[in-house]
């Protein structure tokens, strides 16, 4: 995948991205943004804040994922940055997870391309050399929760509507083994077993209790808390922290890397089943009707 600053680029995945905007931030650092991924750099501190902006609910469409992957690649390759704060620009929603429209009524080639992008974002985030702090400022079901779980530290805003968890079973689908592995590594086997089977979405107090998040803070303190956590983590020498992170995560990532193609085939055949398509359509319809 290539990124040509200031131009429209055609990606291998066949997704056309709009021109990248580049301006100067308040501290003189270069601020860059794609359509849906806003990056606020603080070069002096070595921190970039990524704000997800795919309204209304930051659902992870193929285009959005592709923009995010490119953004992470850029930051990973830029020695200026040692840490990322991942947060949302959509009020009340961190991310609604995978975009259900990408998994409904499409063809197998599309499902395969989509799933490869989902795998890619997970691997990029999970194996990032940088310190990743999730500032979870909204609801965070399924794929939204997964993104947060890849981070080194999670701060959740204290609002009972901001529930977080892997709720796949409620949709009649199954969290893949690498979602499960990431959850087990975070909250332990017994809690993950229960949370996954029941599709639990935890409100802040319970999310903290079970270990899904590390800290719950008043909403107006979420960014300052993320910054202060980041400065603690950045105080550790990079090489020691990075090698330790890799030691802790490599086996889990390798589990997927070794069977990426099989995992894609498994997803495509599962999602293409009539019964699964029906469940997803019914779920989407319910979401739409909720308002009326």
Ligand X SMILES: CCCCCCC/C=C/C(=O)SCCNC(=O)CCNC(=O)[C@H](O)C(C)(C)COP(=O)(O)OP(=O)(O)OC[C@H]1O[C@@H](n2cnc3c(N)ncnc32)[C@H](O)[C@@H]1OP(=O)(O)O
Q: Which is nearer to ligand X, 190 or 288 (CB)?
A: 288
d(CA 90, CA 45): 25
With respect to ligand X, which residue has the nearer C-beta, 231 or 265? Answer: 265
Decide if 61 contacts 15 (C-beta within 8 A): no
Residue at shortest CB range from ligand X? 97
**Is 99 or 181 the residue whose CB approaches ligand X more closely?**
99
168, 182, 200, 256: which one is catalytic? 168
Whether 285 is catalytic? no
Site for ligand X, rule CB under 6 A: 56-57, 59, 93, 96-101, 139, 141-143, 167-168, 171, 173-174, 176, 266-267, 270-271, 284, 287-288, 290-291
Q: How many CB atoms lie within 10 A of CB 16?
A: 11
- Min separation Cβ 122 and ligand X, Å: 11
Helix (H) or strand (E) holding 29: none
User: How far apart are CB 120 and ligand X at their closest, in Å?
Assistant: 15
The alpha helices in 19-166, defined as continuous H runs, are: 62-76, 108-126, 143-149
Exposure on the CB side of residue 34, measured as CA atoms within 13 A: 25
Closest distance of CB 17 from ligand X, Å? 20
Is 168 an annotated catalytic residue? yes
What would the two tokens of residue 132 be? 């990743």
* Smallest distance, ligand X to C-beta of residue 229, A: 25
**Measured between alpha carbons, how far is 87 from 135 in angstroms, rounded to an integer?**
5
Render the burial of 73-90: b for 16+ CB within 10 Å, e for the rest: ebbeeeeebbbbbbbbbb
* Closest distance of CB 254 from ligand X, Å: 19
Q: 126 or 267: whose CB is closer to ligand X? A: 267
Catalytic residue among 46, 97, 138, 143: 143
Q: Reply yes or no on whether 167 is catalytic.
A: yes
Q: CA–CA separation, 280 vs 286, rounded Å?
A: 10
Is 287 a known active-site residue? no
- Give the single-character DSSP code of 202: B
Q: Is the dihedral of CA 103, 106, 112, 113 positive or negative?
A: negative
Q: In angstroms, how far is CA 252 from the centroid of its own chain?
A: 17
Nearer to ligand X, 100 or 148 (CB): 100
**Which residues are catalytic, by number?**
98, 143, 167-168
């Amino acid at each position: 995948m290539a990124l040509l600053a200031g131009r429209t680029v055609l990606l291998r995945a066949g997704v056309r991205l709009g021109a990248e905007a580049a301006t100067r931030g308040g501290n003189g650092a270069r601020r860059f943004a794609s359509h849906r991924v806003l990056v606020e750099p603080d070069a002096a501190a070595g921190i970039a804040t990524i704000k997800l902006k795919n309204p209304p609910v930051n659902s992870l469409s193929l285009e959005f994922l592709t923009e995010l992957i490119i953004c992470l690649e850029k930051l990973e390759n830029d020695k200026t940055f040692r840490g990322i704060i991942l947060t949302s620009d959509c009020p009340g929603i961190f991310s609604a997870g995978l975009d259900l429209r990408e998994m409904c009524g499409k063809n197998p080639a599309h499902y395969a391309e989509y799933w490869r992008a989902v795998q890619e974002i997970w691997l990029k985030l999970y194996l990032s050399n940088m310190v990743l702090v999730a500032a979870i400022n909204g609801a965070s079901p399924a794929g939204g929760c997964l993104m947060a779980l890849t981070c080194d530290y999670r701060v959740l805003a204290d609002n009972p509507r901001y529930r977080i968890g892997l709720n796949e079973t409620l949709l009649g689908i199954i969290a893949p083994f690498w979602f499960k592995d990431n959850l087990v590594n975070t909250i332990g086997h017994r809690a993950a077993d229960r949370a996954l089977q029941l599709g639990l979405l935890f409100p802040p107090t319970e999310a903290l209790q079970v270990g899904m998040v590390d800290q719950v803070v008043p909403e107006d303190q979420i960014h300052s808390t993320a910054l202060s956590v980041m400065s603690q983590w950045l105080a550790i020498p990079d090489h020691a922290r990075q090698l330790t992170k890799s030691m802790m995560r490599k086996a889990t990532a390798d589990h997927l890397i070794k069977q990426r193609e099989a995992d894609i085939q498994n997803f495509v055949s599962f999602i293409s089943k009539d019964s699964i398509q029906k469940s997803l359509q019914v779920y989407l319809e319910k979401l739409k009707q909720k308002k009326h």
